[in-house]
């Protein structure tokens, strides 16, 4: 039997998604909790690995098991063992053709900037604090340069192991709700640090240090040195994955919090 799960977590206390010896990771905590429910070892496959400090509203995983349990047992049972900063939000039986990573048609990430003159301790670790005012309208003009299929080498981390830097961005927006500025991008796949590098670049446009068309120029150069800084992991959220009719999944609903629904 193949089971798909929707996972939510605050990444601040984890050393990223992937299991690492001697480190507290989301995958490690989840597999331990699920193994207790199944009474046997469980190994999970995720839609996309996240770095240390990165959060998730709609991470999706799958695993195969011969343990027969009610679907609710995978949520309630796992959550009884998971730490407070991670939770299984839903569970579904999936077909054998479903694969959390390879079946994904698109993924959506959101980067949240707290744009205010004074820092907020309540939002520390959940947002990137930027004191200088950001012009969201100008940032929205700039982010449109990323739409379509491009070589995103200018927004790729030096250690990125992807075979190709070409990605297809289908949606990209910059919005403001009070002091929170959200950069949201949907693409068929992402490069390592791609969204964080985009956020750092757009912030430079938002403060007036660069023209909106500069983002298009950076993209065309295919040179990471031309783009803005890598924004910290604190503001990055894995929002959702789209699998089409293969796996209709619930939408994450978190109105009014950083990373929540806009």
Active site residues: 51
- Alpha helices per DSSP H over the chain: 26-38, 71-79, 136-143, 194-206, 213-221
Closest alpha carbon to 77 in 24, 48, 27, 37 = 37
3-state secondary structure (DSSP) of residue 28? helix
Residue with tokens 């700039």: 142
What is the C-alpha separation between 18 and 25, in angstroms, rounded?
6
What is the C-alpha separation between 216 and 158, in angstroms, rounded?
20
Q: What is the four-CA torsion angle of 121, 122, 124, 129, rounded to 10 degrees?
A: -80
Token readout for 4 is 């798909």
What is the C-alpha separation between 89 and 110, in angstroms, rounded?
19
Closest alpha carbon to 13 in 233, 254, 238 = 233
């Amino acid at each position: 039997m193949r089971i798909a799960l929707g996972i939510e977590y605050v990444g601040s206390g984890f050393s990223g998604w992937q299991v690492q010896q001697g480190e507290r990771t989301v995958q490690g905590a989840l597999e331990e909790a699920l193994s207790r429910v199944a009474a046997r070892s469980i190994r999970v496959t995720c839609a996309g690995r996240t770095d240390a400090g990165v959060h998730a509203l709609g991470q999706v995983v799958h695993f195969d098991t011969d343990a027969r349990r009610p679907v609710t047992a995978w949520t309630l049972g796992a959550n009884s063992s998971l730490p407070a900063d991670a939770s299984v939000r839903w569970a579904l039986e999936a077909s054998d053709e479903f694969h959390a990573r390879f079946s994904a048609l698109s993924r959506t990430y959101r980067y949240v900037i707290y744009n205010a003159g004074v820092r907020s301790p309540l939002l520390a670790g959940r947002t990137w604090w930027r004191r200088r005012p950001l012009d969201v309208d100008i940032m929205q003009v700039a982010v449109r340069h990323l739409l379509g299929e491009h070589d995103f080498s200018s927004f790729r981390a030096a250690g990125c192991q992807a075979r190709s830097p070409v990605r297809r961005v289908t949606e990209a927006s910059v919005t403001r709700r009070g002091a929170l500025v959200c950069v949201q991008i949907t693409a068929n796949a992402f490069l390592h640090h791609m969204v964080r590098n985009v956020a750092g670049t757009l912030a430079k446009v938002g403060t007036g240090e660069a023209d909106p068309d500069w983002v298009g120029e950076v993209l065309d150069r295919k040179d990471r040195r031309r783009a803005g800084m890598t924004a910290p992991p604190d503001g990055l959220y894995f929002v959702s994955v789209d699998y089409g009719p293969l796996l209709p999944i619930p939408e994450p609903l978190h109105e009014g919090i950083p990373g929540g629904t806009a």
